Structure 1
Amino acid sequence: MRRLHALAAAAALLLFCALPAAAQDGLRTEGDVAKAQGLYEAEVTVPSQSEGDRNGGLARALGQVLGKVSGDRNAAARPGVAAELRNARNYLDSYDYRQDQGTSATGAPSFRTTLIARFDPQKVDVLASVLGLPVWPQPRAKPVLWLAIDDGSGPRLVGVQQSGAARSVLDRAVDRGYRLGLPQGTAAEAALAAAIWRGDTAAVASASARYAPPMQLIGKLYRGKSGWVAEWTFVDGGKVLATSSSDNADARQAMATGADVAADALVKRYAKQAVGGQPGTYRILVSGIRSAEDYVRLSAALQQTAVVRRIAPVRAQGDVLELDLDLLSGVDGLQRMLGQDGPLVGGDGDPPQFYLK
């Protein structure tokens, strides 16, 4: 036990080193504009291109990606997720920057730095599974958005030709990990604005039969007492899965809520709960602990793993250390997070036996 106390004391004095440097930015040809595309990419605004600001931006970007992959808009608040977001560089494939120019309130030009992060799909999938996030399978459906807007001159349907008017809800859908489509806006379809206004979902579903899939996000946007009101109904295969309403002084923000209504309904119906180990305290054996430095390396490897919530040394005998670990998703989750290239390998047996390389 004296040896164990000595090892623990040495470990307590060590400040752990920073994680490996982030991946370099991807190559682009002249004239290309960097932007996030797909589920495993995200873009965030950062104050500068410094390492500190980049690391903070990567953490936020990974949180966005986990939200898109799982469909859970609160993914970043799940147990263990926030801690692992600090290790976002470990999941990075490449990154890039974009300078966006705008106009300030005074009319002067303003500039904003945007970080575009592209993460490794396989690593992100493993992380999501280990942390118990739901799995929203791909390919994902592209519901048809039937939106009528009344700005005071009567309700009018938003078709493909007026896609700019629906940009906020279309973009919000992409942020949630799926896409919405718009009807062509033919004369017959334009007449459906009246059906949308009276809540005739059957009429809208019938007109939408020419499009695939048989899913409709039906909405109406109109002026209310304190701004704009948006009312939504999401229909899948003729069945109403969700209804919601919201109001906002900004019409674009009121409109964007429709994408969340559809996304939440789709996730609830089609997402599958991740299959992982049960949370709890597990006893493990680790061999190869021959010095205080070895104990420090072991502690660092475990503490940098999101599924490890607490480490409690039990006893040391020879080069074998016995530990109780409070794990978020069992020993299987620990093994998957450690990988085969890390300093700690193994995990078979009862109790599980690991080896410090």
Structure 2
Amino acid sequence: MRRFIRFLSHAPALAGAALLLAAGPLPADRVDGLYDAEGVFEDDRSEAFAAALGQVLVRVTGRRDIAGRAEARAVLDNAASYAQQFRQPAPGKLWVAFDGAALERALGEAGLPVWGQDRPATLLWVAVDAGGGRRFVLSSGAESEVETRLRDTLLAAAARRGIPVMFPLMDAEDRARASFAEVWGGFEDSILAASARYGADAVLVGRVDASDPGFARWTLLDESGSQRWSGGLEESVDRVADLFAARFAVVSSGESATVRLAVGGIETTADYARVLRFLERLTAVESCSVERVEGEEVLFRLTLRGDSAALEEAIGLGRVLSRESPVPGEPGLRYRVSR
């Protein structure tokens, strides 16, 4: 422990070294590729830059209507200036990787939200009545033509919005806990019990008639409760993305706010590096520094892009830190390293 304290006394200078030594895992639901997309064009390649950036902005802001918003027009009109890499994989197509940091600054200046790479993972339990007596729950190893088509539609919609989704294995353990009848009947207790092994942040339950998939029934279950609606596959993925974006996308106020955050249970340099890396990557955090070290507790000073509510939502999503009760007379938030 004394070695750890001596290390932390030089924490700001040695943070980079600590990150290299970290053994703790990254947050599990980090979405890659948010800032790259492919656009098409006929004669003017600038059309492809704008089309690709439009796809990126939908994922990054969490807003489906972003291309039609006046605040985004200046960014879209200068799409090529934000490109870091591009290539033409086929005639009339252009793949572009955009500068994420530059785009986030531009979006903040325009008063638009930014949704970071760490996002809720959603487990999809989708019961399908395919007709002719064929009934099944979509699985990660889809084989039949109908099952593959429905699963691929859901995966494509999730990729378009930048939300991580997964399907159950539907092995013997899943079938024992959440059979087709239980998923179709919406037995939430059984579905949640079967979901525990997957470590998802939310569960989306669907009941789909393959002859008319546009009128499926859906239930979203997460820590905020349950929500129900009817609609098609892509429409329902969009609805989930909209709900999450409303909670986790951050709009910068243009003014810096600071908050102190105490984290207990930091026993090793790896713990410290894991926590520091996690905090620095949160969309709501503009900068992070160490203010005080006492035993196994580190007091961080965070400069925020949004408010503390957005910070707490993001921390709860990451599963790196667990919330603790505040100490009377001490300002700030208190957490502990999750094991």
The equivalent position to 2:160 in structure 1, one of 148, 157, 175, is 175
Q: How many residues align?
A: 216
CA gap 1:154/1:238 in 2 versus in 1, 3 angstroms: farther
Aligned match of 1:258 in 225, 236, 261?
Answer: 236
Percent of counterpart pairs with the same letter?
31
Which structure's residues are more often helix, by fraction? Answer: 2
Task: Report the alpha carbon displacement of residue 227 of structure 1 after superposing the two structures with TM.
Answer: 6.3
Task: Quote the residue 1:12 is aligned against.
Answer: none
Q: Give the structure 2 partner of residue 186 of structure 1.
A: 171
- 1:160 corresponds to: 140
Residues 1:230 and 2:216 aligned together: yes
Amino acid at match of 2:156: D
For 1:87 and 1:142, the matched residues in 2 are separated by 33
Distance 2:171 2:247 in 1: 32
Q: Please name the residue that 1:295 is paired with.
A: none
> Do the aligned partners of 1:43 and 1:116 also contact (CA within 8 Å) in 2?
yes
For 2:156 and 2:229, how far apart are their aligned partners in 1? Answer: 19
* Paired amino acid for 2:243: A
CA distance in 1, matches of 2:79, 2:224: 41
What secondary structure sits across from 1:115 in the alignment? strand
Q: 2:61 is aligned with what amino acid?
A: S
The TM-score with structure 2 as length reference comes to 0.59
- The offset of 1:124, in angstroms, is 0.9
SS at match of 2:111: coil
3-state DSSP of counterpart to 2:199 = coil
User: What's the CA shift for 1:76?
Assistant: 1.7
- Structure 2: stretches of 5+ with no match in the other structure: 1-31, 256-339
Q: Relative contact order (C-alpha < 8 Å, sep 6+): which is higher? A: 2
What amino acid is aligned across from residue 129 of structure 1 in structure 2? G
The whole-number CA distance in structure 1 between the counterparts of 2:240 and 2:87 is 31
User: Counterpart in 2 of 1:272?
Assistant: 250
SS at match of 1:184: coil
Q: Which residue is equivalent to 1:55?
A: 46
Structure 1: runs of 5 or more not aligned: 1-36, 100-111, 247-253, 278-357
The residue number in structure 2 matching 1:115 is 94
Whichever residue aligns with residue 262 of structure 1, its letter is V
Q: Is the 8 A contact 1:205 1:238 kept in 2?
A: no
- Cα RMSD of the aligned pairs, angstroms, is 2.2
1:202 partner amino acid: D
Secondary structure at 2:54 match in 1: helix
What is the SS of the residue equivalent to 1:42?
A: strand
Give the corresponding residue for 1:81: 72
- Deviation for aligned residue 1:123: 0.8
1:12-59 per-residue CA deviation (whole Å, 9 max, x = no partner) reads xxxxxxxxxxxxxxxxxxxxxxxxx60000112323xx4x2x101111
| Deviations 1:185-213 (CA, angstroms, capped at 9, x unpaired) | 11342443212211222321121011112
